[in-house]
Structure 1
Amino acid sequence: MIGSAMAVSDVTAGPDLDHVKTGRAAAAMRGTLWSMLSSFAPAAFGMVVFMASSRVLGPAEFGIVAFAASIATFGMAVAPAGFRDAIIQRATITHRHLDAVFWLCIVSALLVYGVIVAVAGPIAKSFGEPQLGLLIPFIGLRVIFDMVAAVPNGLLVRAMSFRKIAIRTGIASLVAAVGCLTLLWFGFGLWALAFSQLATSIVTCAGALIAARWRPGLNFDLKALRQLRAFGLFSTGNHFISTVSIDQLLIGVLLGPAGLGIYGFARRIFQILTDLITGALNLVSYSLLSSMQQELGKLREAYLFGTFASSIVAFPAFSGLALVAQDLIPFAFGPQWVDAVPVVQAFCALGLLTAVGVLQSSLIKSQGQADLWFYYLVAKQSMTVLYVFLFAGWGVSALTNALVIQNFVMWLPSVYMVVRILRLSPWAYLNSFALPVFATLVMIGVGWLVQTELTGAAPLVRLGVTVGTCALVYAATVLLLGRHKLLEIKATLRRR
């Protein structure tokens, strides 16, 4: 049983390596606020870069960079990043664990990067895109920097030092954005996008090493590594499945650069919005829930609070984007991306599940059940591969819609896992979504009526009026029907 590795009697952690045990609610609230800033900075800078580059580059060029990034991401996915999660989740750790994980990550990163360099040339030749031969090794350098930062990042999250993470992430995002925009200005095109990805990893790595104030020793303790092995390997499997862009790789092969460019464009918008909304809850929830492994009541309360908080923000954001995409996409990114509108709208439907899935993943893994989550992701990814082959011939829009339907079907087993861990009835869990769902439906209905009335108006006017009206209607509905719920949350936070 994986959880048994958390209680090894011969391991004694110093207080500086222990989980936060007191003032966790306050630490979580501060961490959420700092993580919101940490999520906002890359999302905001990323959107600026994305809007600028989308006006310079076309779908085919976006597709080339997306494909090169997918190869590099595949390399990062096979590296043992899951051992970082083992450091965060394990009840007690020592410096022996940290040193063993660090050297495991370094050696693995060097081996993986060697393979990336070796396959770059043949891949470029087989696809007839010479630039891939240089782009893949360039972006692939991220593997080394991300693995160097694995242990320092784990220590920062374990200690709930989200202020340091936010500052580091903000600086990295600024450096990447300035560098990318500068290169775009001087006409470097797709290399500007490649630079932004690598620069983010380099600055983030340096910031993690400085903020954690930890330096590796030369000791490599196999016994310490074996104590993390079970959870670390399953968590690495989870990381591989959730990180590797198998959908982009297959779409690039089956639909070519143009089809992948449209799909990658829509996926990028979806990812920016997802990071902005749920990024604040991701690391905070995993660290907080890991510290509550023996406290079922507090675990249940924290999880349901996070579910309500994420859905009440994510549901209107993704639904609103789908509603106004027809006007927003051409205005913000240029008319050449009109064909991407239905794909963006499909990803918005997927965003409703992603906001919830982040917390589900954190809960299941935090309770030592990385193996269970791994098997679930394997099944889900297998279905994704099947759907890509079945629906690729129908075009990128139909394929994306099929993948969204598949994700909704595969969401049901994760609900079962959550209610089993929390010992809740399914209806009690689903009830936490009732208010956000109803308020979002009201908002969509009013927004649709506004757009119908303004059919002949200028797109920018229709966009502004729709967004403003929807925001007011949603806020009014939540305050009117959810006042009691909001007061309960406020009282809970004050009491704790």
Structure 2
Amino acid sequence: MLNLKQKTITGITWSFIDKSANLGVTFIIGIILARLLSPKEFGLVGMLTIFISISNSIVDSGFSQALIRKKSCTEDDFSTVFYFNFLVGLFMFALLATCAPLISRFFNEPLLIPLIRVLSITLIIDSLTIIQRTILTKNINFKLQTKISIIASVLSGGIAVVLAYKNFGVWSLVAQQIANRFFNSLFLWIWNKWRPLSVFSKKSFSELFNFGYKLLIAGIIRDIAQNIYYAIIGKYFSASDLGFYSQAERFNKLPSQDVSSVIQRVTYPVLAEIEDEVKLKLAYQKIIKSTVLITFMLMLGMAAVAEPLIITLIGEKWRKSVIMLQMLSFVGMMYPLHSINLNMLNIKGRSDLFLRLTIIKRLLIVPTIVIGLLWGINVMIAGMIFNSLVSYYLNSYWSGKLIRYPINEQIKDIIPYFLISLVNGTLIFFIGLILPFNYGIKLIIQSASGLFIAVSLLELIRPEVYLEFKKIVLSYFKTTKKKRP
């Protein structure tokens, strides 16, 4: 169990560094690009998000999760999936290129034809890196992935900024995505020594696909659900409105989905190793508490400073994104909890239940879209908040049944951290209301105050997870200090 704990801490540490470093790089680059480009140009790329996202799910086909879940993978397994991914990547590239005129007519934007034909090149590049990433993830080797991701983000971001300064407009955003995928793939192949064998095993394919195809269907449904709002706003509102929404969503994803991604990437292979049911529940419970402590603080804090954050960083022209970000922060609070609960279904081999839940939850989107078309984007986001709460109930109910961690017990564990975060966020918000300074100074004071209030509340209440995290941090600094000459 000690070895497992070390794996988890190491994995989360490097995965968090990966996400934080990439977050810092992409955030800074995103700010520069948002100041150089218009909301419409961001909206044009946003229109293509749903098509690229669904295509990537089809290219993966659930095989990466199936490989991570499998206890002992063979070289035949990896090679078989590699060739399958590559062939599907070529097919999806050709399909999107062919369908480009139809997509353009749907949004009534002629420029989308060349945009999607060029952007779909990323599908071929990604197909070549899936197995490389899967092997590193299965071995909980996030250190190498971190280095590669940071280098790729810096290089691709630099290319995008130069092109934006040269007035390439929306093409700078497309170039950024292609360059990022290319550099990631290049360095993964250089530094990860795995190479495919000249073999395609029908046995391996059948075994892995039997588990993976349900995740594929669930993944497609999930991608449609997560990105359908981009398509609806782009179709029935305007490219500029979609640009405002996409910027709010980008800020929202920084703490929510990145934390979710870190937790999911690390805990899935780690929890999959635990066979004792009691130990599994305890580990799962601790992950839930740790996640909400971080996520709730960040998201409610972001909602409180949304106005000075948006205006200071990307400018007055993005003001419409403020209210969207404040509302989306409440949706983002639930992302990591969704991921953790759904992870448990996969760990238990219940991809069938994963699929059924995905279908049920996505049906809830229909009324949300309808009210959005009738009353506007902000009302649609309010519907997304309601959907997120219902989805959490469904996810936690079924995952809880599998490990005897019922939803009422999970909510009991979550409530204290929610209340601490709510008090912190409320105080930050009211501090902003009474400050007479400009937005930049207000943002600095609110952020510093929020950190001070959060630590003070945690020191006062002293929850178990916080004390353990504090112990780990202090131990790390003591160890580092001893190593110095």
| TM-score, structure 2 as length reference | 0.92
Give the Cα separation in 2 of the matches to 1:425 and 1:243.
28
- What is the 5 A alignment of 1:21-32? 23-32=3-12
Name the residue aligned to 1:16: none
Name the residue aligned to 1:155: 135
Name the residue aligned to 1:437: 418
- 1:154-188 CA-partner distances (Å, limit 9, x unpaired): 11111111111111111111111111111112111
Name the residue aligned to 1:426: 407
Deviates more, 1:429-438 or 1:23-32: 429-438
- What is the 5 A alignment of 1:280-291? 280-291=262-273
- What is the 5 A alignment of 1:262-301? 262-292=244-274, 294-301=275-282
**One-letter identity of the residue aligned with 2:397:** Y
Deviates more, 1:434-443 or 1:29-38: 434-443
Contact 1:39-1:275 within 8 A present in 2 as well: no
Give the Cα separation in 2 of the matches to 1:328 and 1:28.
33
Name the residue aligned to 2:155: 175
Name the residue aligned to 1:472: 452
- Tell me by how many angstroms 1:192 deviates: 0.9
Aligned residue among 198, 201, 209 for 1:218: 198
Name the residue aligned to 1:356: 337
**One-letter identity of the residue aligned with 1:98:** F
- Asked whether 1:319 is paired with 2:318, we answer no
Contact 1:34-1:162 within 8 A present in 2 as well: yes
- Asked whether 1:90 is paired with 2:90, we answer no
- Tell me by how many angstroms 1:146 deviates: 1.3
- Asked whether 1:78 is paired with 2:77, we answer no
Name the residue aligned to 2:188: 208
Structure 1 residues 346 and 24, CA, compared in 2 at 3 Å: closer, same or farther?
Answer: same
Name the residue aligned to 1:250: 232
Structure 1 residues 68 and 493, CA, compared in 2 at 3 Å: closer, same or farther?
Answer: closer
Name the residue aligned to 1:124: 104
Give the Cα separation in 2 of the matches to 1:126 and 1:358.
32
Contact 2:29-2:157 within 8 A present in 1 as well: yes
Aligned residue among 391, 395, 398 for 2:379: 398
- Tell me by how many angstroms 1:416 deviates: 0.5
Give the Cα separation in 1 of the matches to 2:290 and 2:158.
33
- Tell me by how many angstroms 1:358 deviates: 2.1
Q: Residue 79 of structure 1 aligns to a residue in which SS?
A: helix
Give the Cα separation in 2 of the matches to 1:260 and 1:462.
28
- Tell me by how many angstroms 1:322 deviates: 0.7
- Asked whether 1:43 is paired with 2:43, we answer no
- Asked whether 1:112 is paired with 2:92, we answer yes
- 1:298-327 CA-partner distances (Å, limit 9, x unpaired): 211221222222211111111111111122
- 1:42-75 CA-partner distances (Å, limit 9, x unpaired): 2111111211111122222211111123322232
Give the Cα separation in 1 of the matches to 2:469 and 2:392.
27
- 1:93-118 CA-partner distances (Å, limit 9, x unpaired): 21121122111111111111111010
Q: Residue 25 of structure 2 aligns to a residue in which SS?
A: helix
- Asked whether 1:345 is paired with 2:329, we answer no
Structure 1 residues 243 and 346, CA, compared in 2 at 3 Å: closer, same or farther?
Answer: same
Q: Residue 326 of structure 2 aligns to a residue in which SS?
A: helix
Structure 1 residues 493 and 233, CA, compared in 2 at 3 Å: closer, same or farther?
Answer: farther
Name the residue aligned to 1:7: none
Name the residue aligned to 1:387: 368
- 1:236-256 CA-partner distances (Å, limit 9, x unpaired): 123223334222122211223
- 1:176-226 CA-partner distances (Å, limit 9, x unpaired): 111111111211111111111111211222233334321112211111111
In structure 2, stretches of 5+ residues that fail to align are 476-485
Give the Cα separation in 2 of the matches to 1:241 and 1:172.
29
Give the Cα separation in 1 of the matches to 2:248 and 2:468.
38
Give the Cα separation in 2 of the matches to 1:491 and 1:123.
54
Contact 1:82-1:238 within 8 A present in 2 as well: no
Give the Cα separation in 2 of the matches to 1:302 and 1:263.
37
Give the Cα separation in 2 of the matches to 1:99 and 1:75.
21
- 1:405-451 CA-partner distances (Å, limit 9, x unpaired): 12212211111022112212333322322332121122133224323
Give the Cα separation in 2 of the matches to 1:82 and 1:470.
40
Give the Cα separation in 2 of the matches to 1:150 and 1:381.
27
In structure 1, stretches of 5+ residues that fail to align are 1-20
Give the Cα separation in 2 of the matches to 1:166 and 1:458.
37
Give the Cα separation in 2 of the matches to 1:22 and 1:143.
40
Contact 1:81-1:150 within 8 A present in 2 as well: no
Question: Identity percentage over the alignment?
Answer: 20
Contact 1:289-1:362 within 8 A present in 2 as well: no
**One-letter identity of the residue aligned with 1:51:** I
- Tell me by how many angstroms 1:123 deviates: 2.5
Structure 1 residues 463 and 133, CA, compared in 2 at 3 Å: closer, same or farther?
Answer: same
Give the Cα separation in 1 of the matches to 2:208 and 2:457.
48
Q: Residue 23 of structure 1 aligns to a residue in which SS?
A: helix
Deviates more, 1:153-162 or 1:252-261: 252-261
- Tell me by how many angstroms 1:22 deviates: 7.8
Contact 2:305-2:429 within 8 A present in 1 as well: no
Give the Cα separation in 1 of the matches to 2:276 and 2:392.
26
Structure 1 residues 428 and 192, CA, compared in 2 at 3 Å: closer, same or farther?
Answer: same
Contact 2:160-2:173 within 8 A present in 1 as well: yes
Contact 2:43-2:234 within 8 A present in 1 as well: yes
Give the Cα separation in 2 of the matches to 1:229 and 1:101.
9
Deviates more, 1:209-218 or 1:164-173: 209-218
Give the Cα separation in 2 of the matches to 1:211 and 1:371.
36
Give the Cα separation in 2 of the matches to 1:110 and 1:287.
29
Structure 1 residues 132 and 425, CA, compared in 2 at 3 Å: closer, same or farther?
Answer: closer
Give the Cα separation in 2 of the matches to 1:46 and 1:481.
35
Name the residue aligned to 2:482: none
- Asked whether 1:378 is paired with 2:359, we answer yes
Give the Cα separation in 2 of the matches to 1:469 and 1:296.
42
| TM-score, structure 1 as length reference | 0.90
Number of residue pairs aligned between Structure 1 and Structure 2:
473
